[in-house]
Every structure is written in C-alpha cells, then in structure tokens.
Structure 1
Amino acid sequence: MSALSESLYARLSPLLDQALDLSPEERTRWVDDLQRESVSVVQALSEILLSGDTWKGGGSEPLASLPPLPPLLEGEPSLAGVRIGAWTLDRPIGQGGMGSVWLATRADGSFEGLAAVKLLNLSLMGRAGLERFRREGTALARLSHVNVARLLDAGVSELRQPFLVLEYIDGEPIDAYAARATGSAAQRVQLMLQVLAAIGHAHANLIVHRDLKPSNVLVTKDGTVKLLDFGIARLIASDERSAEVTEQGHQALTPAFASPEQFRGEPIGPASDIYSAGVMLYLLLTDRHPTSDGARTSVEFAQGALQREPAPTGLGDLDAILRKALRKVSGERYETAAAMADDLRRWLNHEPVSARPDSLSYRATRFVQRYRTGVAIAGVVGAALVTATVVSYRQLLEAERQRSVAERNFRNQEGFLAAAQVLATDALGPDGKPLDARGRLLHAVDVVETQFSTNPRTVAVVMTDLATQLFESGDAAGALALDARSRDIAHGAGLFDVESSISCTRAQIFLKTRMVDSARAAVEHGRSALARIGPKAEDYLCLQAEGDLAMLDNDKDRAIARLEQALVVFDEGERLEGASRRSLNRLAILNGLAPVLQRAGRPRDALVLQRTIVAGVDSMGYPATAILPNVAAPMSLMFFELGEMREAVATLGAIVRRVEGQGGAETVPPYLALLYGTILLRAGEVDSASHWLARAAKGPLEGNAQVTADVNAAWAALEGGRMREAGVRAARAGTLYPWHWLTREWVRLRIARHDGDSVPSMRRLAFAIDSLWPDASIPRMHFIFPLLTLGEWRLAAGDVRGADSVASRVRTMAMVDSLAGARSAIVGHADYLHARVQQALGDRSGASRTAQRALTALASGYGLDHPVTASARAFLNSGPAVRR
C-alpha cells in the first residue's frame, strides 16, 4: 500500500471510522456510493480495506502502520464546533498516545463547566484499539478520588468516533507549579503526597498508570493535584483478553520516567509507578534527573535506569526515601504508594523514616528536631519515651540516675553521651584532615572502648548502636564486624541480660522500620539469651517487642497480654532494685498499651492509661512544656472518639493552665495551643477556639500541625459567621493528608450553601465523603462532622431516608462502648437527626423517645449550652413530646 500524505489521511480518517464496522459486502456497496468523492480518497480507502480483509491476526494489524492523527494544519478543516455525543468541541488542548484531546462544553446545557474530550487516534482503530479504548473507560470509571481527573462521560459518537469526557483541569504541570509557587523541599513533598494518594487509589482499584510524569500531573490554582491520562493504564488483574490487547498495543512509556522493568520489557506492576513517582520527586527537589541528568535519547535514559544509582541530594532522610523508591529491583521498593507517603510524612514531622535503618541516636536526633519546632503527633510520646534515656541526655540523666543497675548499665547515658560528643566534633584523622562520617563512627568506637574498658555493659551497648549507624552510612561489612565484637563482649562477660535487652531493643527498632522478619529474629535471639539465665527469666523489653509483633499480626488479645506482662516484669524489677516506679520506661509500656486497647475497642481503658501517663510525667518534675503537649495529643483523639467534648476541654484546659502557671501565657507551645483550639472548636466554643488557634498560628508549626491549624482556622471563621475570612483561609489551606482536604471541602461547601448553592453543594459533599470513605487508613472520626452536615442537608431537602442512612452510619461509628449512648455528643447528634426523621415519617412517639435519649447524650458530651443541645431540647419540648 502506498504511503499517505497527512492531508489525504486527515480526509480519510472519518471515512475509515465508518467503514471499519461494516461487513465486506456492506463496505463494497458503501464504497460505490463514495464515487462522488475524490478518486484518490476512494482508491486509498479501498487499498486499506482490502489489506484489512486479508489480515488474519499475525504480526501487526495493517491499521497500526498508519500515521498518527496529524495536527490540524493551516487551511485544513477544524473539528471546532463539531458535536461528539452530547459535547461540542471548542479547541485542541493536547495530543496523547491514545489520541487528541479537545476542550469542550456540554451541548445540551446540563453541565455548565468545561470538559476535556479525548478522541481515539484512527491509527488505533480496529479490534485492538477499540478494546484498549473500552478498557480506558472501564479503568477511569473505577476511579473516584479528589486527586484524579474524573470521568464524566464515555461513548461512541454518531460518526462512530469513540470518546471519553474527562474533568477539565485548569492547572499547570507539577514541575512548573513547584518552580513557581513553592520555595521549600517540604512544600514540594506535600505536593507529592497528593500524587501518591491518587496512585494509591488507582492501585487499590487494580490499575497501574504506567506513564507517570510531570505533564500528567497538573496542579490547580488552589494547590490541588490532579493526576491525568489513565489511557495507558493496564489492569493488574489481567485476563486473556487484556493480555491480547497488551500484546497488540504499542509500548507506552516516557523514557525519562520509565522504570527499569519497563526498559527490560518485564511485567509491569504498582512498583513501576512507585519508581516513576521517585523520579518525579527527585526532579522536584533538585531540578535534575536522578540517574540520567543531561540524557537526550531513550538509550541514555535506559542506561541510567538500569546501571546508575541516584546521586545524593544532600537532603538527609529524603535521600533514603528516594533510594528506596528508585531501587533497580521492583521488589525492593516501597510495597505501596501509602508506604512511601507515610515515610514522606514522617520526614515532614521529623520522625524516623522506614527507608533508613534506625538507630537510637538517629531517633534521638529526629526527636530533638521535632521538639524544637513544637511539632508532635499522637505517636511521638512512644518514640520519646522508649528511647528517653538517649534522646534527652541533659533532661533525663538526673531523673534516671537511681534506676536499677542492669537497666542503668544497659541504657548507659554516659557511654552514649561520650559517643555523641565524638560524632558532633570535627575530629582529625592521621593525615590531619577532618574525618568523614564513617571515620567519626570508628573513632567513637575507639573512644568508648578506651574510656569504658572496665565496663563491658556500656561498651557492648554503645558499640551496637554505632554498628547500626555504620550500616546507615552504607558500610555493611563494617557494621557486621562491629556487631560481632559487641556480641562477643556481652557474651564473653556473661552479660546475657544485656544480650537479651540489646536484641529486643533492636527488635523495636526493626519494627519502626517495618523490617518485621528481622524483628522476629531479634526477639528469638533475645529469648535464647534469656534462657541462659534461667527458665523463668524475663525481660520487659522482649515482652514489649512481642506485644508489638502481636499487634502487627492483629492478635490484639496476645498483644494486650504481652504488654501487661511487660508492665508486671518491669515493676518487679524496679521493686527488687528499690528504685522508683516513676520511670519514663514504665510510661513507655503504658503508652504502647494504650493504642492497643483503643484498637481493641476499649478506648475508655486506653484513656485511663493516658491519664496515668500525664500524671506520671507531671509527678516526675519535668517542665510542663517538655512532654505534656505530646502526651496531650493522643488524649485529645481518644476524647473525640468517645464523643466527650466537654471532658476533653476540661482536661486539656487543665494542662494549658499548668503550662501557663509555670512559665506564663507565652510559654504555651504552639502545638498545645493547636490541640486545645481544635477541641474547643469541636465542642462548639468558637470564640475561645479562635483565640487559641490564632495563638497556634504564631508558630512555629510544620507539616501536619501547620496544615491542621490552617484548615481549622477556616472552620472557626465559618462557625463564627465570618464567611469571607473563612473562604480566604480555606483557599489558602494546604492538604497534607486526605482528611485535610475533606475538612477544607466541607468548609467550602458550607460557605457555598450559605451563598445559595444548596443542591450542588449537597451532591459535592456526598461525593467528597464517598471518594475517601473506602480508604481504611483514614481515621473514621474525620468523617463525622461532614457526615452530620450531609444528614442535616438531606433532611432539609426532604430526603428523610438519605438523612436516616447518614444518622445510622454516624451512630455506628460513635458507639464505641455501652456508655457512649449516654455520654457521646456524636451519638447524641446522630440520635437527634434520627428523631427528626421519625417525626417526618409520622412516628411521633418514637421521635420523642429518641429525642430524649439524644438530649441526655448531647448534654453530657457537649454541655447544656451547645447549640445542638439547645436545638434538641427545643425540639423535645415543642414537638413530638407534646403532640398526641
């Protein structure tokens, strides 16, 4: 068949579109009817159809060799104004592997916004092309996420042109946006978190993107990321038909962002998207390619991806995260997008990251950074308490001086401090030049061995920690050799208790880095060492680690039993040594047990332990600003889960007043001000909440805390009736976690409804909730207020069944124990909504009983003066209770 010119092919395309679905006999008659057309067109079309009729499936389909749909040339007819389905094309806005993309509007007026209409290239027409196109529609239809461009419509036009209609995103590529609108690594990491949220949602729906790159990731003016172009997505759960499509289709990749397995032609899975995300993140952070900077050809990019390691960025733990995401072997990368996102959030919050092998001194550094900035989350107290003797030498040395001999030697602060001092200095080597990181570590080993030569406990423990740091620096052989020396010292001195404690402490570190198999092995080694002491020998650290492992196995009963036993063993050891039980290590056990109880459905018992931790920290004489704000964080979450807002205000208020009384109002840490302001806001005390949130905004805050403060400030302005301020704050607020976005959208939609946009706002709120609800990693409590608002709006719109469905969902979430029905403000609000549904359905006696029950819970959880409590009381007094 002779080659086609672009002009001729452009005229031929719509005719091919019609001809391909006709039988050979129908085609003959149809071609005869085309004799009035140009002879060259009819001749070319006949040649193509003849070759297509004789094609039997071997090799390439004839249509695949046709040139791609050419761009519109000057003087050629345009598709502008053409109607595709219910959409009118306006202008071309892109050209992709699956076809051209046009800006379009809804022709029938039922959709006022703009859309992007994607037309399949005629070079992909025929059986394989249509199958790929159908699969693109199937894939997109399964995706409903705030960071993924939504599929609005799909079909085949009257001209037999397959099309997809996608949400039009008015944004710019993520790399351009980052260069223009972000000034820090943290801001760029926050953008990537949204990308990973979209990727994770796609993977959860068995879809791999396969072509992640900056041009496929747009950022809107308000900073929302939208992932585009799942046209080349391949369903992970492939079947015989999808395999056929893949075989016939063209390989789709962008060399600069392709994974090693894509270059090798291996099967593609979620890990390929993780790799591409790693390349994008590296590019955003450094403005250069990780392995192929300056590359121009596909071969050069392939060589980089397959042979070169990413150059260090100098950004600390981000280097470790990037190295893991960019591993050559797919199985060595992050298992999920959520795992990579979790590490990035840890980096933002100055927490240890899983990509970096942990050590006690490493965790100490991260804690100090977090404490300095005032940023903490509920889990911080666990890391702070478990490693308390390491992370805060000056503060804790005196408090822990009277500990038992075994534990004092195991956690020998002087040894760690000596090592830390060496690592912090610019020591010189034999050549007179400053030692590098590895050299300082080895020098620290020599110093500790010399200074503590008569104390094998200290040498063994500190040497083990330094061995871990050697491993972090990339010297695996040196780390193994140093570990062997440490084990020999402990074993040779008969220090089996030290050997056990070291092993089980390392198990906890392995757990922090998600190295579960290594953690199990470390516990087994610890158990073996204990057996050398005696059949009944126990170590509370081993019990602690076993409890953590049991929780990973979702064996809550075993986890609780092990942690409770750890507490008994610890207390017995303290009693035998005559030491005080007011130990941070004891509080660490309690702090590990509390979340297990909470996850086991015992939040009230967990709260008792949290109160014990607060009292213990308080009684040990630490400055109120040092630890109490961190301990207050999990307490505030537990109170919210229980729905006891009034009690939460009283408890956190007491902590705030203690801090103020000890150092003055200005000494209240920003994070504690944020916690207090948030619980006041949830309790309906808007003026006080605004005051404390304003205090928190003075900072410094970072990461999760900063975004939470921004979103909650918009919420407080809304509750205070300051609509314009609320709108401005909501527009400026970022979205580090999905629930930040949900709260921000909830605020925005309430503002829109206030301005008269009632029905669309209700639908959009339902969409926002439903798009995030399947993500089990999002704590359910973040859905409560948006759900209650949705229920109220549905009731106001006359959708009583829809309102009752919401009330039932909220009540189910909030009934955490038997006392919640009488104490939880959340249960009370759900019951109050249900009572009004009952009244609307004519069940007045049922409405009266439900309203009375609701009022009891609201008064307990919110207090008598809360607006919802007052509304329920008025409903009960004037409504169903007096109508007969």
Structure 2
Amino acid sequence: MSTNTASNSSWFKDETSLIAELRRSRLGLGSAPDIAGYMELRELARGGQGVVYTAQQQSTKRPVALKVLSEAPFSGRSRLRFDREVELAASLRHPGIVRVYDSGSTRDGRRYLAMELVDGQRLDEWAKVDRDWRRIVPVFAAICEAIQHAHQRGVIHRDIKPSNVRVDADGTAKVLDFGLARPVELTADETQVTQNGQFMGSMPFASPEQASGENDKIDTRSDVYSLGVMLYNLLTGKFPYNVDGSLREVIERINTQTPLPLRRNAANAPQDLDIVVATCLAKEPQHRYQSSGDLAADLRHVLAGEPIKAVRESAWRTLGRQAKRYRAIAWTTGIAAALVAGLLVVTVRASDIAKRERDAAKAQTTIAEQQKQRAESASQFLTSLFGVTTPDNPKGGADLRAETMLDLSIAEIDKRFANDKATAGQIYSHFGAAYTSLGKTDKGAEAFKTAMERTCEVHGENSPEYLNALANYTDALMRLNNLEAAMPLALQSVALLDRVPGVKPADGVAIISRLGLLICKQGKPKEAIVLYQQALAGFKPVTKEERYIFAKTTNNIASAQHELGEYDSALMNYRAAYNDFVARDGVASGDAIITANNIAVLLIAVGNNEAAAAELKKIVDACEANLGPEHPNTILFTGNYAKALQDSGKVKESLPIFASVFERRVRLLGETNRDTLITINNYAMALSADGQHDRSLEMSRKALELRTNTLGEKQVDTIISINAMGRILHAAGKPSEAWSYFERALALSAPETGNVPAQSSTRAAILCNAGYCLTDLSKFDDAEKLIGEGKAIYAATVPATSPVFARIAKEEQKLAEKRTATR
C-alpha cells in the first residue's frame, strides 16, 4: 500500500497539478456524462469552464456540441454565468453565430448546453495557411457583422479571439462561446456576476478598459478593440504590441503602448487597411469604430477599393494625439547658463486635467446625454474639415495642408454652433491642440483662449470644464513665453481648487506644479522647488495617470535644481523621471526624450561635452525615426546636438547640422520665431568659432535686430544677443566695436534693472566677456574687476568642473601677462 501511495503522489506535487487532477476526476475523465436525450458522447475539447463533447440529439438525429460545466455542485456565480450564456446565446439568430438548441442538467447536477456543431478549423489555424489580406478580410468582415448582430440585441461578447471562431470548408465563419458575454445594461444579478476589478476575457486580445478590470466601462467598442487585435494577428501572425511577460507588464502595454502599424508586419496590406486596424486599436473607446457594423462596412470598402470612413477621422486624431503628447515640449526654462550657451533645457509641465468620458451605453443622466451629443457634434464637424476645398485643392481631403485647413475652418465654428457654445468650446480646444502640434503656438493660444471663454459662458468658473480650459490657455501663454499674462491665470487655477467640486489629488498636483514652473521661469527656482515639494507632499501615486504627473513634477524639480547649480540632485531627479517615463511609454516617448535631453544639457554644464553629444545623437535618431525630421522636437534636439558638438571642439562637424536646423526653423516657423532666433544665435557663434567672421556677424546682427524689434531691448533673449554680438566682434579682432555691445549688455543686465537675475550665469557670462574685451583694450583694472565679479557668480552657480573656469583661468593669465608687458 505504501508503494502505491508513493507512485501515485507525483500528481499533486504542486497546486496546479492537484487542481487539474481534481477537475479531471470530477469530470470523470474517460467516461462521458449521462445526459438524457443525447447519445454517442465523445470529448472534443476541454477548457477552464468545462468540457465540450460531440453527440447526437436523439429527438432530431442531428449532431450537436454539448458543453458541460466542470463545477458540481454549482457555485452561485457559476450558475449565473452559465445560465446567462444560455439566455444570451439563445436570443441570437444569425448565420455567423453558433445556434443554441437546448440546455439542462446532468444526472450529477452539472449544467450543460447543446449547440450547433461546426465542422471546421479554428480561425487562427485557417488563417496561417495563407495570410493574404484578400483572403482573410472577406471572412473577417462577416465575423464583424455577426458580432454586430449580437450588439444590436444588447449582447457584448467580451472574449473575442481566434479560438472562439470556427471556419468550415466553405470558408464560412461562426462565432461561438458566449460564456463571458453580458448584456449592455446590467441588472442587479448580472452585476454580481461581473465585478469591477475582476478581469474577464483573454488578455492578449483585451481592450485597455477590459485589461484593467474596469468592467463598468466595457461596452460594444471593447469588442471592436478585440476584433482589431484579432485582425492584426490573423494578417501578421503577431500582436500589435508585446504580450509576453508578467501580467502587470502586459496590462501596462495594452493601456499605454502605441500599436505597431499593421504595414510594419504586413507590407502588402493596403494603407487603408492599416488605418482600419489602427482605428480599432485606439486606446480611447470614443476614437474607435463606434460599432462592429461600421468596422465591417469599412472592410468592405477596402475590398472594393472605395474610400473608407476612418481616413478623415484618423488624420484628425493623428494631429490631436501629437498635440496632446507633445504640446508641452517646445519652450525653454529660465536656466541662464543654457540660454547663454544657446541650449534648450525643456521642462515638462504637469499634464492636463484628465477627463474620461463615460460610456454612452450606460449614460442615464441628462448631463451625460448632453456630453454625448456635444462629442458627436464635435466629431462630425472635425470630420467634415477634411472635405474643405480651395482653388488649388479642388478635391479637398488629404492634399490640403493641415494649417490651411485649420485657418479656413476656424471661422466656421461659431457660425455652426451659434446656439451650442459648449460644443464650440470643445472644438476650439481641439484647434488649439492641433495648431500647437504644428508649431503654430500663437494661433494655438488664440484658439485655447476662445475655448476658455466659451466654456466659462456655459459652465461658469467653478466647474471642472473651465478649470481644464484655463489650464490649456495658461500652458499656451507659457509656450509663448508670455509669463506676465500666464501668472494670474495660474494663480486663479490654484484658487479654484477649493471651489471646484470633485478635483482629484493628481489634478491638484498638476495645477500647483504649473504655478511652480511659472515661478521658476521668472528666475525664482528656490521658491519653485518649495511649491513642487508642497504639491507632492502626501501624494501617493497609484494609477498610471498619477505616476505620470509625479514623474513630470520630478522632472520640473530637477530643472529648478539644475538652474540653482545643484547638479547632483538634479541628475538624480532627472534619471528618476526618465526611468518612470521609459517604463510608461518606452525610450522613444516624448517625455523620455525630453528628460534625456535635460540630462545631456546637464552633462554639458559640468564639462562632459562628448558624453552629452553622444546622448543627444541618440535622442535625434529616436526623434527622426518616430516623429520625422520636421517635427518641432526633432529640430529642437538636433540644434542641441549641434551645440554639443561645437562645445566639444567639433566645430566643423556642427556647421552642416546648424545649417539644416536653421533652414527648417525659418521654413516652418519663420525667422521671428523665438526658437528660430536661438538657432540663428547658435549658428552665428559656430561660424565665428570656425573663423567665418563676416558671415557670423551678418547672422548675429540679424538676430539682434529681430529680437529688438519683436521683444524689446530689455528682454533677456535680446540681452543675450547683444552679448553674442560683442563676443563675435571681439573674436574678429575688433575689441573697440565689441566693447560698445558689452557696455550695453552690462547696463541692461545690471541687478537694479531686474531684467536678468543678479546671481545667474547669464549675468556672469556678460561680466566675464566684457572683462576679456577690456583686457585687449589694455584697461586691466576694470577687466580684473569684471572678470572677478563674473567668476564669483559662476562659483556660486556652476560646479567646479565646468569648462568656464578653465576659460577664466586662461584669460586671467593673459591679463597678468599683458599688464606685466606694459609696465
């Protein structure tokens, strides 16, 4: 007896084996259950819920599939789920859905379901024989139409995957297994079966809301997402993102990772089919096909070579997605050392207040219905924009430049929605985001301002809608560097925190962090850090959005520490933010690229130019691959890369890169744009370092003239240009002319003017450059005084390893030698 015990004990060495064995013994493996009215039972398949047998129904003599539940006696939840499957499946009558004939209980109390028996292959096995899209898409369109039939009768499948579809010898597909299906509207009993936080479905094919266990947010559009994953998988044999790894990792990717384009893995697929799949896989339900019927219709259009509905909507969403992701990027901080060097350190503003639309299918209040109607009206209007025509574009559509389309259409908003200011406000906000993504920040700011005004008229100031619109306009003003106008709006947002109902802790952090960023840009980094730390005090990020806001605020703290010369702390916080951004969206995400750029700029500040250049080259490559060469961020970081090359002594290598950046800036933004002027200044300094003094002076004069005319003489950018003119003239061997510019820069940056922070690297650079010039004019005492003042400021603001100290030491030695020679 002991021998038998030992030999039979191996099957329960682990819990999984034990459970499996218990189920097998419970089901009576090897002996089919005795079910009245059915004969010749043979096991066909075995799954988590039970076993499927083939059998013959005695009364009709037809073959059937018998699904027998594994649990006996029934748990309450299992009984509810099985009975629901019977009820829902029996209500469906469609040639693409397996029919239900009968249900009941076995003699030992287990429930069974008698269904139509399909003699065919699993869908994925059928597809892998030949993945030609012309073969697969017609069958798939029929599957979508079958799912649409279920949706129209209030049934959501929730477990769409290839193994739940069979294809017969004639190529007819049938959907089966509604074991996880539920009605669109839940009753009290059904709510017990489907609980929030409990995942239902098959993870690789699940929608973001389904993968996160947010079952109250699942609707018919969740099935559309699963259909998109399944179509991608059938056409490529792959998934649109990596589904390997831990459960947490897979859920994170489903929720955040941008799906790989279909044509990346199926090069022969037409562009329109790529758009169809991408529309299915939108993270937000409102951006997907709103029904599987719409999806089926577009698939039929692809097969017929006809225009698809998703083209215009996809084009608009691309603008909106870029705007949302990158609209915070293209402004510089007040880090004076970076401004003097012409490098852009980018601060990441806290994200816009998150607003999630509730599913239309469960909307039961008047407010929810109004929001739905406004969203539909806005969607219809925005879609219609891609039909705009002009004399040089009589067909309208994709050939029309996005900016031109926006310019032509923005005047129509108030006309079209004269009696619906709420919808008008939403559309103006979309226009603001689109203009900003195109680099047209001034037009974006005007659109955001109008959106704020319309929103206030409808909702009032003490509303979440107005708070969000206010934040958008504040950010727009900050991008324009209009700090004076942005500050009162940021303060108003903070004041509204106590008056607006339902503000989440993450929203409060975002609003306070925005105010901190403004204070930092006004030359008060210490005060900004205090605000940032107050915002994060007691804030424990849990959700994806909360962790994102935490990382952005951490990056802003690092930027302030960078400006204060607290380089070790800044580097630590930059790296912490960078790791969070990479974990969330990958190394090519906008936020990760921004923070990597900040790390590179910090490396330059401590004199490690070669390492900085190497880091920036990686950033430029990532931007060009993911954003394209003309995206504002690609151009921004390419300019920083050129400056790093120059500072590491590779001047000739930097010149063609500067030239490319200059050409793109002027062509895309115009020569008066702030970023264009920074590029002109940098390019001029590189030309000067290469000995091309005449061309350098020409460009520098142009930058100074434009800055003076557009900003005025007292603005810090103009003062930097004046200092740059002095440096270039001095390098060209014209110290007397150079001194006239240095003298102006000294006066305009004097502490009493308030134009430039007294203890800043900008002021230190001007003092030192002026001193170097006076040395060559043999005004040694004045030169020594100015160099000493600049050196003292540098000592308090930059690390001892900074290359500025080597330059100062060299100039001090030169001054001493010249003074000795003249005695």
TM-score class, shorter-chain normalisation, is 0.3 to 0.5
TM-score, structure 2 normalization: 0.42
TM-score (norm 1): 0.40
